[in-house]
Amino acid sequence: MKTLTVEVDDRLAVVTVDRPEVRNALSRQVLAELRDVLADLRERDDVGLVAFTGAGDKAFVAGADISQLRHYDLHTGLAAEMQRTFDVVEAFPKPTVAAVNGFALGGGCELAMACDIRIASENARFGLPETTLSVLPGAGGTQRLARLVGTGRAIEMILTGRFVDAAEAHAIGLVTAVVPADDLPGELRRLADQILAKGPLAVRLAKLVVRAGMDADQRTGQVIEQLAQALLYTTADKAEGTSAFLEKRPPEFKGA
């Protein structure tokens, strides 16, 4: 890989977009390498959670590579490479976290929104300024932002292209935590440890049920919930979790 680095430590995989000279802009090579990395991490038994961040202290990902975008045409738009890549992130079976350590603009904001959870440093900035270039957020931004912060606020942010600081992002529900920049890696580790201590099958199915229910009516969502719960009732991990609770000891989940 030329544009990404991957570090795995105690079941946490941190994928870093490593192009600080262009504020970690998303070139087509970044997207291709990201898909390859996710395919690998999906199958690794030593990885239980995947986090994304950016190299340096200025940017998470400051959008698409404009030098490439200027040459995009109708066929590029219909191919929707970035949208398809972020759909892979959203559908990833293991939990995903965006650790936003600076500017998350355009495609960077869309990458963060495709993750299950977003945490941010105090210097983080979010925005979808594509209309400034006479295009729109085409990697899921028009849909995911509205679902996260509400339709009216999403339209206002997209039409004006304004940036949202970390405090406002937290207030509107775009991120779940804001910490000093130096504390972001520790906050990521703390969050990962909390999730990784839980039953891995339960975590995987809970994510799936929430995601699927968002695109269905409530009754259908509850049927999906019911079926997932019935499946979990048959697992060895459920037996271990309940036994450990009653015996007042930490559970030893096997993912089975």
The catalytic residues are 110, 130
Q: Give the closest residue to 32 by CA, choosing from 93, 107, 82, 89.
A: 82
What is 88-114 written as a DSSP string?
HHHH-SS-EEEEE-SEEETHHHHHHHH
End-to-end Cα distance, the chain: 33
Sequence-distant (6+) residues with CB within 8 A of 49 are: 11, 12, 13, 94, 95, 96, 97, 192, 195, 196
Please give the angle made by the CA atoms of 77, 82 and 85, to the nearest 5 degrees: 135
Q: How far apart are CA 92 and CA 81, in angstroms?
A: 17
Structure token pair of residue 98:
């965006």
Backbone angles phi, psi at 7, to 5 degrees: -125, 130
